[in-house]
Homo-oligomer: A and B are copies of this chain.
């Protein structure tokens, strides 16, 4: 046991709030104490791991042991729908069975609970217990008279039918059970019914075998924690992605698109229980829901289409109020989804929610918001976003570049664009990227003299750290090579060399090879790739791993 795990779990959690082992140790301690003193602990537990079925269940079972049924009920309301964990749902079924027995409509309540569970997790490979219990429950329902008897048989058959079409464990036993059941009711009819069900059963059985192969090695009990980049984490991600990809091949070969989509979505939900800190899984799940909704819409299934659209929104909401609450990616994707559906006010609220989080750099959000407003209300209104961004102290220089681009590209007004850059330069004189963007903008406009002025201003700014200035010198040299005379070129080159030497003092390199930059053009170099490497050019330019020329012209401003 490592030194770390010898320390007491509270201390360990202070260091790393995602230390699952330490939480488990704590949980074991707290489970034996009276619930009245432990709610604070449980709340911090489910707050830290809001999508862990296991921790919710521990909390609820503790309440149940003390017969605090009302508390348990409230906890179920908080977690059931967002935590499709089979054990948690079994716990719920047992809770209903144990607590509602006294009620007048007990049977109806119970059947509703079973239906509710099957609707939500009835696709799970481990949901067979719920099916079998449900069937057993239905069989035991007293039925007086032929009519009631028939109704009971129909109900039982309906559950059997659903169970036998589902790829899950223990199918063979359910099948044997079912055939016996039918034969006991009516030997003659049984043959026909069994033959009908048999197809589904064989199909589900085949898929269940494949599913077992696909889920080998998958740890479904894993608790979502921020990934550390370990190999075992990567393996789990790979296995989940494989499983999802497999479900997308429609292994059940169902012709019902809705059923197919539901299974894929269920697999995403299961993956998110373990990989809740992976924005890509959330994003892909949302994309799948969106596409599925669209497909269903095209197929004419308007109702399910609308339901999946609603689920997309729920998923996004769950993401940005839960584990993904700081993921700009998911806010942006959510906003775009709403924009596609012309819910422009909803879009604004999404951006606002992200902007309200004090410690998140809002710059990119303002840029996206500005673009959104430009698209939906036009560039003039988009200026208001720029104004709002300027007044926000957290905003970075990139907003000024985006605003200048907007003026130039959308308002087609270079004068205003230049004013925006001038405004920014006062504030971000020590941001080389900003200066570079400004100089690039001016040189694209053929404003040669102004370009030189900006280069000189940012390069002579005392605030510019020397190691940051070298990229600007590179660009200045390119500029002079394009339009300057040889004396200007040589002068800039000489100063650039000094800047490099200053920035790379510790590297003890020979900087005369920076002359390469004077002679290169696009991907054409005045030396072979091998020579560039040998004479140390790549090291100078910090492109040691590339063999050939550095990429140029990758992005253009404005």
> Is A433 interfacial (CB 8 A cutoff)?
yes
Instruction: Answer yes or no: A162 CB below 8 A from chain B CBs.
Output: no
A219 CB-CB contact with B under 8 Å: no
A269 adjacent to chain B (CB < 8 Å): no
Q: Answer whether residue A301 sits at the interface, using C-beta atoms and an 8 A cutoff.
A: no
Q: A522 and B483 in contact (CB under 8 A), knowing A241-B510, A512-B280? A: no
Q: How large is the interface on A (under 10, 10 to 19, 20 to 34, 35 or more residues)?
A: 35 or more
Determine if A504 is an interface residue (Cβ-Cβ < 8 Å): no
Closest 9 CB pairs of A and B: A280-B535, A364-B524, A328-B526, A329-B526, A552-B555, A440-B556, A367-B521, A444-B444, A332-B519
Let me know if A553 and B555 touch, CB within 8 A. yes
Chain A contact surface mostly:
helix
Are A515 and B478 closer than 8 Å at their CB atoms?
no
Cα A436 to Cα B244 in complex, Å, equals 37
> In whole angstroms, how far apart are the Cα atoms of A521 and B531 in the complex?
35
**With A409-B446, A412-B446, A545-B545 known to touch, is A519 a contact of B280 (CB < 8 Å)?**
no
Contact residues of A with B, CB < 8 Å?
227, 229, 237, 241, 278-280, 283-284, 287, 327-329, 332-333, 336, 339-340, 361, 363-364, 367-368, 371, 375, 396, 398, 401-402, 405, 408-410, 412, 433, 436-437, 440, 443-444, 446, 448, 471, 475, 478, 481-483, 485-486, 490, 510, 512-513, 515-516, 519-527, 530-531, 533-536, 545, 551-558
Residues of B within 8 A of A437 (CB): 522, 553
Closest CB in chain B relative to A371 CB, distance in Å = 7
Q: A536: which B residues are within 8 A, CB to CB?
A: 280
Please determine whether B283 and A515 come into contact, CB atoms closer than 8 angstroms: yes
A405 to B444, CA, bound (A): 10
B398 touches A535 (CB 8 A): no
CA distance A532 to B339 in the complex (A): 25
The reply to whether B555 and A478 form a contact with Cβ atoms under 8 Å apart is yes
* Chain B residues with CB below 8 A from A483, complex form: 409-410
- 12 A–B contact pairs at CB < 8 A? A280-B512, A328-B519, A328-B527, A332-B526, A336-B490, A340-B486, A364-B521, A401-B522, A409-B482, A412-B446, A552-B555, A554-B555
Q: Which residues of B contact A545 (CB under 8 A)?
A: 545
Cβ-defined contact, A554 with B471, below 8 A: yes
**A515 contacts B333, CB within 8 Å?**
yes
Asked if B329 and A375 sit within 8 Å, CB to CB, the answer is: no
Q: Bound state CA distance, A284 and B536, in angstroms?
A: 13
Is there an interface contact between B444 and A556, defined as CB atoms closer than 8 Å? yes
With beta carbons under 8 angstroms apart, the residue of B227, B433, B554 that contacts A534 is: B227
Please name all residues of chain B whose beta carbon is closer than 8 Å to the beta carbon of A557 when the two chains form the complex: 553, 556
Q: A368 to B555: give the CA distance in the assembly, Å.
A: 24
Q: How far is the CB of A44 from chain B (nearest CB, A)?
A: 25
A49 vs B161: C-alpha distance when bound (angstroms): 88
Contact A522 B284 (CB under 8 A): no
Asked if residues B554 and A552 are in contact (CB atoms below 8 Å), the reply is yes
Q: When the two chains form their complex, are residues A523 and B332 in contact, meaning their CB atoms are under 8 A apart?
A: no
CB neighbours (8 Å) of A552 from chain B are 554-555
